[in-house]
Amino acid sequence: MKKSKCKTSSSSEKEFVFEFKAGKHNCVLKVPLQFPAQENINDLHGRLMLLHKIPCYIENELKSALSDFIDRETTLDYDREAEQALQRLTMGDVDVNQLTDAWARSYVETTLEHARPEEPSWDEDFADVYHELIHSPASDTLLNLEHNYFVSISELISERDMEIKKLQERQTSEMDKVMHELGNTLSDQDVNAVASQHFDAQQVLENKWASELKQVTEIQKQEYQEWVVKLHQDLQKSTNSSKINEEIMVQSGQLSELTDSGSRVFEEQPLLEESFTIHLGAQLKTMHNLRLVRADVLDFCKHRRHGSSGTKLRRLQTALSLYSSSLCGLVLLVDNRVNSYSGIKRDFATVAKECTDFHFLCLEEQLEEVQQVLLYARAQRSSKHKEQPEISRNGGDDKSKALERNPSNISPGEFYVSRHSNLSEVHVVFHLCVDDNVRSGNITARDPAIMGLRNILKVCCTHDVTTITVPLLLVHDMSEVRTRALLGFKESVLFPGFMMEMASWDGGISRTVQFLVPKSISEEMFYQLSNMLPQIFRVSSTLTLTSKH
């Protein structure tokens, strides 16, 4: 029998002897076993029965004898080690004080009655206080204060954009003059020097404004949290909060008047949307709400400075469900780099900076944490591949090579999550990585993007996200769709099959799924998609019965 390897330095080999009768023959089974025993007794017993062709009527007797032998020899080994430890203690080889300290520390760490009480977390305390206030008459006060902070940040961003625009216009004018003199009084080196000066000046200005915005945001967050805690304490002492409410509302009204007089109000474009009710499930049906919406993906994130009653209701609804089991999520399609420097990621980061997040880390800090977790996961996966090289042969060679070239990038179908309290209608954003296959229309039912959507739905079920907004055509701009249009739609809606699995994931909780199509899509195509939804899902409808007399 093959001996198992043991990493313990005090390992030893012992022979297990078992005598039994097979008919008229007296048989003896001798098996060398390694101690300390690390093999499962049932597995070892089964292998012995099979390898040595032991009769079945001996099976229970062999198992009992094997178990008794392993228990007895293990106990003897423990007793021998204990005797040796006592001898070392008697001879003075071990410090008694260190030994007693180690025992006391181990006992305290493993015994519940000696465990230290958990220190209260500021974030948890603030979350409890905010949740209590936002569900009280003080909710209007909180929303007005948040709006005041939002307006001040928006004005600061407007000043930044104006100053950067003026600098760019001045630099463009200077560069035109330099190019006009190129070849006469100025050379290519002079042009390069001017371009370098312009770049440095723009970098200095952007860094200055970034630093100022960060400082203002940190001050706002600290002031807001301290003010919320103080308001909670004051309300506990006194039930009369009308003075505080009036003070905040006056400030909000003054700022609204200033912004109304200083800028032009842009009316929202009417959105196209269709709603459906479906029932999913094998036996126990669960009702879900489906919405087909034509809008920009960032419309669900942006706050409006000149808020109407509808805008305020959306802000209130988002705040009420911030610490609840009814969160709202959004799927954002991104490239394989975890940053906020280009494309839709940059636009989303700009929106996230327009309003201070008083509850969670800012987007940049969250992305830094994602990068650290990603690098750690890649390192763990790489070490497993080295230990088990046959895994790489079975598949994923190209993927592994791509990750080795840049382990900080994610692969198509993978996603990372960011949490927000400062967006209009969203608490959680799923940043799903898609590749050129999605944009070109070369997509199948097993495409990583489709599987990524399935995994996102599973996360929604396990983490209380009851409303999720998904780009239906897997693009944010119709210019990317090209000729695939409805063909891509037919492939992408294959994930309703995943929605059928939701009943087993969460026990059949009713959810709302918003299918988002780009703003540039035509009304004709929108209604074509709207007509296709009832054919794919089981849409609830009333049944009219008539009887003839």
Confidence tier at 343 by pLDDT (50, 70, 90): confident
Is 261 inside any structural domain? no
pLDDT for residue 29: 87
66 domain residue, yes or no:
yes
Question: ∠219-224-228 over CA atoms, to 5°?
Answer: 155
Average pLDDT across the chain, whole number:
79
Boundary residue ending a domain (79, 114, 149): 114
The Cα 43–Cα 50 span in angstroms is: 11
Residues 534 and 447 placed together within one structural domain of the fold? yes
pLDDT over 90 (residue 100): no
Q: In this structure, what token pair is assigned to residue 38?
A: 């690390």
328 and 444 together in one domain: yes
Looking at the structure, tell me whether residues 325 and 439 fall in a common domain.
yes
Same domain? For 203 and 303 the reply is no
Q: Which of 114, 147, 165 is the endpoint of a domain?
A: 114
Would 387 be classed as within a structural domain?
Answer: no
Domain presence at residue 101: yes
Distance CA(379)–CA(359), nearest Å, equals: 31
Which structural domain range is residue 104 located in? Answer: 12-114
Of 323, 326, 513, 333, nearest to 421 by C-alpha is 323
Instruction: Name residue 19's beta-bridge partners.
Output: 28
Do 237 and 304 belong together in one domain? no
* Closest to 279 (Cα-Cα) out of 8, 539, 546, 14: 539
104: in domain = yes
Domain count for the chain: 3
Tens digit of pLDDT for each residue in 468-505?
Answer: 999 888 888 876 545 444 445 554 555 556 666 666 66
- Give yes or no: residues 25 and 56 share one domain: yes
Residue 164 — very low, low, confident or very high, per pLDDT cuts 50/70/90?
Answer: very high
Confidence (pTM): 0.69
- State the CATH number of the domain containing residue 513: 3.40.220.10
Query: d(Cα 451, Cα 457) in Å, to the nearest integer?
Result: 10
Confidence of residue 242 (pLDDT cuts 50, 70, 90): low
Q: Alpha-carbon distance 384 to 390, whole Å?
A: 11
**In-domain check, residue 389:** no
Q: Please, are residues 511 and 289 in contact by the beta-carbon 8 Å criterion?
A: yes
* Whether residue 536 has pLDDT greater than 90: no
Structure tokens at 152: 């001040």
Strand partners for 470:
515
Confidence band, pLDDT 50/70/90 cuts, at residue 204: very high
What letter does residue 184 receive in the DSSP assignment? T
In this structure, the answer to whether residues 430 and 516 fall within a common structural domain is: yes
Are residues 433 and 302 located together in one domain of the fold? yes
The reply to whether 547 falls in a domain is: no
